[in-house]
Amino acid sequence: MQKEEKTELVTINPTTGKEIKKYPIMTDKEADEAVEKCHKAFMDWRMVSSKERAKIIKAIGKELKENSDELSKLMTDEMGKLLKQSKQEIDLCAGICDWTATNGPESLKDEERELPGGGKGLVTYSPTGVIYGIQPWNFPVYQVIRYSIANLMAGNGILLKHAENVTGSALMLKKIYEKAGLPKNLFTVLKISHKQSDEIIKHKLVRGVTLTGSPGAGRDIAKKSGAALKKTVMELGSNDAYIVLEDADLNLAVKMCVQGRTYNNGETCVAAKRFVVVDKVYDAFKEAFVEQMKKMKHGDPTDKDSKIGPMAREDLRETLHEQVEKSVKKGAKILCGGEMPKGKGFFYPATVLENVKPGQPAYDDELFGPVASLIKAKDTEDAMRIANDSKYGLGGGIFSKDEEKAMELASKHFDTGMVFINSFGLAQPNMPFGGVKDSGYGREHGGFGMKEFVNTKAIMRLKG
């Protein structure tokens, strides 16, 4: 029996399990017209100077702050993150707007070069057109800001296919962008199905595709984009290793590792997930870590006393629990949590697994929720081996009082795109964000994202 095509997008509050709102899916004609309108807006925007673009981007940051309460509440209602973390996300996004507005014009300015045989050369970073972003639900505002602000600064137009469960957040962002002065249709939200999305990728007016999602989604979208000769940026999943060395400050390590595993309900691509601890401090770390994880009680994300909110969707909670059960069947041991809560809402407890080994989902795969994998290493060399023994390579962490040694390990031996020393972090506006291996390719932030989808053009005036 053929599966019926969806006619609407539905948002559901994961705290209550109740429906929030329905949004009709665009017709194929409406989606096509939306792309054409975005391209038309781009044709004007590309001629606007980078300094004038920067003014509007700075204004977007200001509007985000002014609408923080309403947008934070909507994000929490739609995907379940703690309300205070929704506000932190908006603060980060406003910071990205400010950094981009301040540094964008300089990053994108023309570069003059002397030609070897005489004459003058000019390198320009010219906008290419409409960029299509396919984004997930876990950071409803940040995921959008990360690619859209850099590309708007570069002079491109933006299409957004957001995750169904945060459709309201996507539409509110559109209002914020336009209230800040962004030309109408330059930032366009597409309320479309997966089948329609494939047609958007092939659309003649779409010049680039950026995805944040799972490696499976990355392979699929990269293949379809490649077939249409569209450049892509892929920010995919990970199972980041946080290494605790013999000379680590254990109190700090425990505090940061608990935060790194439970922040955003554990639903973060660059979260701390595997905790690789050297033998000499393993028992002490385990005892303190489990004790603190037990204190991370789940509850209503609007309640100030809650430490963890619900999983964003019921199916995500089921998948996470299956991964825990499969890991236990293959030898992992539950030190706390690991039981599906009863009652309304899609909650899952803070969980710690021990005796985690290759062949278990807890070792090999990404557990997208508040489940920590505890792994014992013989020494520093073994810890680094275990950390790199992964198909992923997005982020990671090292805890050591010898920060110079930790920096060297991070620089020369950690096979990831980002490493945090004695801390846990998500992103910094002035530092590159992205990974290697199955965690994807391409970079965002720090000026790098502004140049992912530009035409680096060589103009040469040769000496006659």
User: Is 88 among the domain residues?
Assistant: yes
| CATH code, domain carrying 31 | 3.40.605.10
User: What does the block give as tokens for 169?
Assistant: 């957040």
Q: Are 212 and 69 found together in one domain?
A: yes
Q: Are 361 and 341 found together in one domain?
A: yes
Assess whether pLDDT exceeds 70 at residue 2.
Answer: no
Q: Give the per-residue pLDDT at 247.
A: 98
Q: Residue 43: which domain range?
A: 8-236+440-462
Q: Give the per-residue pLDDT at 452.
A: 98
Assess whether pLDDT exceeds 50 at residue 455.
Answer: yes
Q: Are 289 and 176 found together in one domain?
A: no
Q: Are 52 and 201 found together in one domain?
A: yes
Q: Give the per-residue pLDDT at 6.
A: 84
Q: Name 253's Cβ contacts closer than 8 Å, sequence gap at least 6.
A: 244, 285, 399, 422
Amino acid identity at 82 = L
Total of domains in the chain: 2
On average, the pLDDT of the chain sits at 97
Catalytic residue numbers read: 235, 269
Q: Which 3 state secondary structure label does DSSP give 299?
A: coil
Distance (Å, rounded) from C-alpha 239 to C-alpha 396? Answer: 9
Asked if residues 164 and 9 have their Cβ atoms less than 8 Å apart, the reply is yes
Q: Are 141 and 53 found together in one domain?
A: yes
Q: Are 30 and 143 found together in one domain?
A: yes
Distance (Å, rounded) from C-alpha 422 to C-alpha 401? Answer: 8
What percent of the chain stands above pLDDT 90? Answer: 97
User: Is 433 among the domain residues?
Assistant: no
Q: Give the per-residue pLDDT at 343.
A: 93
Q: Name 394's Cβ contacts closer than 8 Å, sequence gap at least 6.
A: 236, 237, 238, 240, 269, 270, 416, 417, 418, 434, 435, 439, 440
Assess whether pLDDT exceeds 80 at residue 464.
Answer: no
User: Is 416 among the domain residues?
Assistant: yes
DSSP assigned state of 23: E
DSSP assigned state of 114: E
pLDDT digits (tens, 9 = 90+) for 269-309: 999 999 999 999 999 999 999 999 999 999 999 999 999 99
Asked if residues 221 and 201 have their Cβ atoms less than 8 Å apart, the reply is yes
Q: Are 218 and 256 found together in one domain?
A: no
Q: Are 216 and 154 found together in one domain?
A: yes
Q: Give the per-residue pLDDT at 1.
A: 44
Q: Are 261 and 318 found together in one domain?
A: yes
User: What does the block give as tokens for 220?
Assistant: 């699929």
Q: Where are the beta strands (DSSP E) in 14-118?
A: 18-24, 111-114
Asked if residues 257 and 249 have their Cβ atoms less than 8 Å apart, the reply is no
Mean pLDDT calculated for residue range 100-112: 98
User: Is 345 among the domain residues?
Assistant: yes
User: Is 3 among the domain residues?
Assistant: no
C-alpha distance from residue 350 to each of 102, 200, 261, 283, 294 (Å)? 40, 39, 9, 19, 7
User: Is 17 among the domain residues?
Assistant: yes
User: Is 434 among the domain residues?
Assistant: no
CA torsion angle 292 374 301 17 (round to 10): -140
User: What does the block give as tokens for 120?
Assistant: 């003058």
Mean pLDDT calculated for residue range 376-385: 98
Q: Which residue is listed with tokens 């330059």?
A: 186
User: Is 61 among the domain residues?
Assistant: yes
Q: Are 152 and 286 found together in one domain?
A: no
Assess whether pLDDT exceeds 70 at residue 41.
Answer: yes
Asked if residues 435 and 446 have their Cβ atoms less than 8 Å apart, the reply is no
Distance (Å, rounded) from C-alpha 109 to C-alpha 154? Answer: 10
Nearest one of 237, 284, 275 to 437, comparing CA atoms:
237
Distance (Å, rounded) from C-alpha 360 to C-alpha 106? Answer: 48
C-alpha distance from residue 338 to each of 136, 293, 348, 366, 371 (Å)? 25, 12, 8, 16, 8
pTM as predicted: 0.97
Q: Are 450 and 316 found together in one domain?
A: no
pLDDT digits (tens, 9 = 90+) for 307-352: 999 999 999 999 999 999 999 999 999 999 999 999 999 999 999 9
Amino acid identity at 32 = D
Determine whether 43 is exposed, middle or buried from the number of CB atoms within 10 Å of its CB (0-12, 13-18, 19+): exposed
User: What does the block give as tokens for 155?
Assistant: 């002079």
| CATH code, domain carrying 366 | 3.40.309.10
Q: Give the per-residue pLDDT at 28.
A: 98
Asked if residues 57 and 104 have their Cβ atoms less than 8 Å apart, the reply is yes
Mean pLDDT calculated for residue range 404-433: 96
Q: Are 212 and 257 found together in one domain?
A: no
Q: Which 3 state secondary structure label does DSSP give 233?
A: strand
